[in-house]
Amino acid sequence: MDDSSNLTMKTAVITGVAGQDGAYLTRMLLDKGYQVHGTVRPGGSTDLWRLDSLGVRNHPHLHVLQHDLCSLVDSLALMDRLQPQEVYHLAAQSSVARSFEEPHATVNGIQQGTLNLLEAIRKVTPTTRFFEAGTSEIFSTKHSALCTELTAFHPRNPYALAKLSTYWATVNYRESFNVFGSVGILFNHESPLRDPRFVTRKITSSAARIALGEASVLELGNLAARRDWGYAGDYVEGIWRILQADQPDDFVLATQRSASVRDFVRLAFAGAGIGLAFQGQAEHEVAVVTDIVDGVADQVPCLKLGQVVVRVNPDFYRPIETGPSIGDPSKARLALGWQVSTSLEELCKLMVSADIARVKSGG
């Protein structure tokens, strides 16, 4: 690519480039011909394994830089230097469970980061388009009705509290200062690049290790919790489309299907060649092996029918559980032409297969 074509390339900033969505979005924008400036926090993880695994770590149009989201001065300088057309703000302490343990760091980090970027855009690059990674956790409905952009909010954990504030900050800058700011109200989305502290990856990595004889039991919290789980690769497409719209707006991205943690366990173990049945109630509930495919039986002769491979550990219960939540992505489908293309079964298979390959290669 010569310098003259660089002039016609769009420039995007992705905060939290080292995270799950940051990696998938980076790959997508690079494929679309963007210059991508991805930020990591000073002193934070410098492990860019996700970008590596997608083969984009050394792409000539990817520039990884340190940026302190809690510093307005840093954000002003970033906008001034890069003059980006688009900012995708993905960086956040994104674990709900951890937010109960670290409320101040979670809330302050999330609120300051968004406010500093919006303020920098307002003052320095007012035509920059801004994407805020919002969350379905702001709804926290107790009922099973579909959540839309009009559903009432009721945040029930420090993470959700902070994300509700950044939702309103983005709406405020749009309404008060004409900033092109949009919020994606994102339901859970997962992938082989998901951090294992989240339940899906915890399950698939354990299923892989149990099927290869490297672990014997998986401990989980609330098996009845339900989530609307999609594939992160589909969600970054929606995130990009949100910033390509004619007008800034807020969109629910969801699959419109919910499943329980128990369902996900069953699918993941089936994907690893182990059939399960659940027995017992509440903290006494367990999953026992009902079927073992030949390949697994040969590899792990000690794995027996009737053996307990999943049990409940109340230490993983949360002070309050949200949901069941299920999202209605109709607005995104109609306005942006976005819809998911990966089913829960396909997602589960993708994640288990990747974890089996990792365990086999010693990763």
Among candidate residues 86, 119, 132, 137, the one labeled active-site is: 137
Which entry of ligand NAP, ligand F7E, none binds 227, CB below 5 to 8 A by partner kind? ligand F7E
Query: In terms of CB distance, is 100 or 177 closer to ligand F7E?
Result: 100
Residue 261 in contact with ligand F7E, rule: CB under 6 A? yes
User: Which of 330, 335, 159 is closest to 246 using CA atoms?
Assistant: 335
Query: In terms of CB distance, is 29 or 92 closer to ligand NAP?
Result: 92
Q: How far apart are CA 211 and CA 91, in angstroms?
A: 34
Q: Quote the least distance from Cβ 326 to ligand NAP, whole Å.
A: 14
Query: In terms of CB distance, is 39 or 106 closer to ligand F7E?
Result: 106
Determine if the peptide bond prior to 324 is cis (ω within 30°).
yes
Residue 94 in contact with ligand NAP, rule: CB under 6 A? yes
Residue 204 in contact with ligand F7E, rule: CB under 6 A? no
Query: In terms of CB distance, is 173 or 235 closer to ligand F7E?
Result: 235
Which entry of ligand F7E, ligand NAP, none binds 109, CB below 5 to 8 A by partner kind? ligand NAP
- Which residue has the closest beta carbon to ligand NAP? 19
Residues 6+ apart with CB under 8 A from 211: 269, 272, 273, 274, 296, 299, 300, 356
Q: Which residue has the tokens 């510093």?
A: 71
Residues 6+ apart with CB under 8 A from 185: 134, 135, 136, 138, 147, 149, 167, 250, 251, 252, 253, 327
Q: How far apart are CA 355 and CA 363, in angstroms?
A: 9
Please report, as residue ranges, which positions from 146 to 175 form the binding site for ligand F7E (by CB under 6 A).
none
Figure out which of the listed residues 199, 310, 340, 351 binds ligand F7E, where binding follows CB under 6 A: 199
For residue 293, the 8-state DSSP code is -
Please report, as residue ranges, which positions from 280 to 339 form the binding site for ligand F7E (by CB under 6 A).
316, 318, 321
Asked if residues 305 and 292 have their Cβ atoms less than 8 Å apart, the reply is: yes
Task: Measure Cα distances from 107 to 93, 147, 160, 319 in Å.
Answer: 9, 24, 9, 17
Residue 232 in contact with ligand F7E, rule: CB under 6 A? no
Residues 6+ apart with CB under 8 A from 19: 50, 90, 91, 94, 195
Q: Quote the least distance from Cβ 138 to ligand F7E, whole Å.
A: 9
**Residues of the shown chain interacting with ligand F7E in the complex, contacts defined by CB under 6 A:** 94, 96-97, 135-137, 187-188, 197-199, 202, 220-222, 225, 227, 261, 316, 318, 321
